[in-house]
Amino acid sequence: MEDVKAYIESGILELYILGDLSTEERKQVEAMAGQHTAVRTELDNIARAMEQYATEHAIEPSESLRNRVLNNLVTNLGDDRIFTKGKYRDEDHVAILPSQATSSFYKYAFAACLALLVVSVAALVTVYNRLQASNQQLVAMQAQNQQYSTRVNLLDNEIEVFRDPSFKLIQLLGTIKAPSSKLTVAWNPVKKKVMIDMANMKLPATDPKHQYQLWAIVNNKPVDLGVFDARSDTTDMKLMKPIAGAQAFAVTLEPKGGSTFPTLDQMIVQSKI
């Protein structure tokens, strides 16, 4: 143990840490450290103490010095002459990195990522197309439901005409301009409802620029009850504008959209109540 203590106190361990020993001396220190725990412990203590001392007394280099060193490194690394072929010998122990293997790894990794991206995009496109198809089906079902709802309302109106005794069925007959024309108006003065029988009406066909307009005569004044087409409406009963009191009904041929006042020479059917 005295020899080990003397060996530790000789200062050779400090020189080992500083790297100031020859190859033979370094091997000797490493052999002693392998044989004696005290030597190995002391080496660790010396290394930690030197590291702590270096940290506490470190001097931050100036910005200009740092830039100069970095510029020199970049310049030297960029000079191909420093790395000329055949400069290093076998005894220099230069390890050749497996660049080909690394390159192959990244190539396959990139190919795998690309394949995954393609699969993901294809899946997203499929989901998007299915969503679009579902939305179209939903819109079509909503439109169909709206048609059913409208049809049910119209059927309710038709049934109401026959169930409600307050409804009056008024037959409008053709004038000199169209003697064979006729139209039935269902009017409920209590509920102020006016409907026309589209299924059984007989009116001349209209052109795209004209429509028929229903009028109610109230206190000898015409009141607009709305416009309709001769055959384009597929409903059996068409609900018109409401009115409570009327002395007569008439239909005139007017420009598309209707008129403020009826065109008397274009009266097609009329009837008193």
- State in Å, rounded, how far the first CA of the chain is from the last one: 138
Which stretches of the chain score pLDDT less than 70? 1-2, 57-108, 147-158, 162, 232-235
Summarised one tens digit per residue, pLDDT across range 194-208 is: 999 988 899 999 999
How many whole angstroms separate alpha carbon 149 and alpha carbon 141?
12
C-alpha distances out from residue 186 to 162, 171, 221, 238, 249, Å: 10, 9, 20, 10, 11
Q: State the alpha helices, DSSP H only, in the chain.
A: 2-9, 12-18, 23-35, 37-56, 63-77, 99-163
pLDDT at site 83: 47
228 bridge partner residues: 212
**CA angle at 251 for the pair 188 and 168, rounded to the nearest 5°:** 20
Distances (CA, A) of 2 to 6, 7, 9, 15, 25: 6, 8, 10, 21, 20
Residue spans of alpha helices (H) in 57-165: 63-77, 99-163
The DSSP output letter for 62 is P
Q: Residue 270 is encoded by which pair of tokens?
A: 């009329």
Task: Give the C-alpha distances (Å, rounded to integers) separating 231 from 130, 210, 253.
Answer: 40, 13, 14
User: 126 by DSSP, 3-state: which?
Assistant: helix
| pLDDT at residue number 109 | 74
Decide if 174 contacts 180 (C-beta within 8 A).
yes
Q: What pLDDT shows up at residue 229? A: 92
**Those residues with Cβ within 8 angstroms of residue 176's Cβ, 6 or more apart along the chain or in another chain:** none
